[in-house]
Amino acid sequence: MRQTRINPRDAAQGNFLLQKLLEANGERLNQLELKVGASSFDSENKTPLAATPKPASIAFSATSGSGRFVIRVTNPEYVGRGNTRKTPILHHIQFSPSPTFSKGIVEFPISTQTYYHVPVEDVGGTPGTPMEGYFRIRSSRDGQNFNNFQQSAKLTA
Q: What is the pLDDT of residues 108-157, one digit of tens each?
A: 999 989 999 999 999 999 998 999 999 999 998 888 888 899 999 999 99
Look up the CATH number of domain 57-156: 2.60.40.10
Residues 97-112 as b or e (16 or more Cβ within 10 Å = b): beeebeeeeeebebee
Q: What is the pLDDT of residues 88-121, one digit of tens each?
A: 888 999 999 999 999 999 999 999 899 999 999 9
3-state secondary structure of 32: helix
Largest CA distance in the chain: 76
Could you give the residue range(s) of every CATH 2.60.40.10 domain in the chain? 57-156
